[in-house]
């Protein structure tokens, strides 16, 4: 049978109090070291996240510009198609114009021509023609 372990004898409350205080101090220093290590790890993680966010913030203008261009591209293409179609229609209209009259002034001569035709038409039709000319601001007001 092995010998019984030898425990230091209790020499009063003062001796065991210093051992307990030393143990508490040792435990407190270990806890502080653990907390410090934990806080340093958390600080390092926060710094990494901050660096990532700064990089994203630096890229943000380029990202928005790219998104804007992607949304704008179809509108610009549609505008070009409409301009091309408009030019084609203007060319067709030029070909249909007698004597090469300018397009912008072509509505007024046609309205004047209609007014001359209305004068030679029966009185009831002239009333309608006068009212229409007045409505569009082409002729004199109806009597």
User: Is residue 121 within 8 Å of 129, Cβ to Cβ?
Assistant: yes
User: Is residue 108 within 8 Å of 133, Cβ to Cβ?
Assistant: no
* % of the chain surpassing 70 pLDDT: 60
User: Is residue 136 within 8 Å of 124, Cβ to Cβ?
Assistant: no
Region 72-91: what's the mean pLDDT?
94
d(CA 116, CA 35): 101
pLDDT at 110 over 50: no
Domain ranges within the chain, ordered by starting residue? 31-96, 102-143
Mean pLDDT of all residues in the chain?
A: 77
pLDDT tens string 46-77: 999 999 999 999 999 999 999 999 999 999 99
User: Is residue 139 within 8 Å of 133, Cβ to Cβ?
Assistant: yes
Token reading at 44: 């390092």
- Contacts of residue 4, Cβ cutoff 8 Å, sequence gap at least 6: none
Q: What is the pLDDT of residue 104?
A: 53
């Amino acid at each position: 049978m092995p010998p019984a372990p030898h425990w230091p004898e209790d020499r009063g409350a003062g001796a065991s109090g210093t051992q307990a205080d030393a143990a508490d101090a040792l435990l407190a220093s270990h806890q502080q070291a653990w907390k410090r290590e934990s806080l340093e790890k958390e600080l390092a993680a926060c710094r990494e996240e901050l660096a990532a966010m700064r990089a994203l913030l630096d890229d943000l203008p380029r990202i928005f510009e790219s998104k804007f261009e992607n949304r704008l591209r179809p509108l610009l293409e549609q505008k070009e198609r409409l301009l091309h179609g408009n030019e084609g229609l203007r060319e067709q209209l030029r070909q249909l114009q007698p004597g090469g009259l300018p397009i912008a002034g072509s509505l007024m001569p046609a309205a004047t021509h209609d007014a001359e035709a209305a004068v030679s038409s029966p009185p009831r039709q002239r009333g309608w023609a006068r009212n229409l000319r007045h409505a569009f601001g082409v002729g004199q007001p109806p009597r």
